[in-house]
Amino acid sequence: MTDKAKILVTRRLLQPNEDRLQAEYDATLSSDDHIMSTDEVIAAADGMDALLICVTEPLNADAIARLPESVRAIMTLSVGLEHLDLDAAKARGIAVMSTPDVVTDPTVEIAMCLMLGAARRVTEGAGMMRAHEWDTWTPRMLVGTDVTGATLGIYGMGRIGRTLAKRARGFDMTIHYHNRSRLSFDLEAGASYYTSVEALLPASPFFAITAPSTPETQGFLNAERIALLPDGAIVVNTSRGNLIDDDALIDALKSGKVAAAGLDVFNGEPSNVRQEYLDLPNVFLTPHIGSAATKARVAMGDMLLDGLELFRADEPVPNRVV
């Protein structure tokens, strides 16, 4: 097709993505990167063929029903889809595209960073340095937990879980996992499968959450399941904040049942993260930056635009979810 698609882009993207949008499309780019309200998105979508949004612009069933008739596709710069009502989009005949695969490596890099930072008490060490409190050395100073040779339990063995297992093997970690279904022998790569997460937890001194957010997984790590972890376990979450019961994890971090946590995602993010997570010295935290690496972010934008071109040409779209 030779006509340029009209695209509303709700947030500032990396420069290569914006350059491509301006060169190849009739794109309306964000000028100030503010979070657009639903009403703003709907008004600005008038006459647009497609929307390129982020998780900061949720579209529920009512919002999708109110979109102009011109909108034929919604592209979300994310893997997660909980901010979109997919059934409503399907009912309107609107295609939805996401960005799987390309975020796997950077997200796993953050997971490893969180695991190492939590285990080796980096929050406490950095705080000591910045407060100019490091005035001596003792054999007992900031002694953390060994990662090399430890056992890692992984909840959710999709692309991210399997890649985390691969990276962790570089630290000679033993891998245990639970998944909705057992992986093939080749994909397991020596990992031990547990038929239930309740069986996996006691065998997981390091425990990483890489399962998607679904009605079944929300609130998964509650007080009862935390009690099944070994004393002094280390918990890592790069999935979604709503997989964790904050009260339960905070209590466990205060009591020492959980020695430390590495968290990139939170309930109430970004403005209503629990203050206890910010205050506790045994929490190593980052602000949802799993995919925040240059190559990955550019690839996310390119994947969406490549998918839009396939959609407009009536070709199969690998990253289309509706």
State the residue for tokens 């996310």.
Answer: 300
Distances (CA, A) of 126 to 24, 28, 134: 46, 42, 10
- 152, 206 contact by CB (below 8 A): yes
Residue 24 designated active-site: no
For 33-91, what is the HEC assignment? CCCCCHHHHHHHCCCCCEEEECCCCCECHHHHHHCCCCCCEEEECCCCCCCECHHHHHH
Of the candidates 72, 120, 162, 288, the residue annotated as catalytic is 288
Residue 52 has phi, psi (to 5 degrees) of -115, 105
Of the candidates 188, 269, 276, 309, the residue annotated as catalytic is 269
Residue 297 designated active-site: no
Of the candidates 72, 121, 240, 297, the residue annotated as catalytic is 240
CA distance 241 to 269: 8
Residue 169 designated active-site: no
- 86, 64 contact by CB (below 8 A): no
Which residues are known to be catalytic? Answer: 240, 269, 288
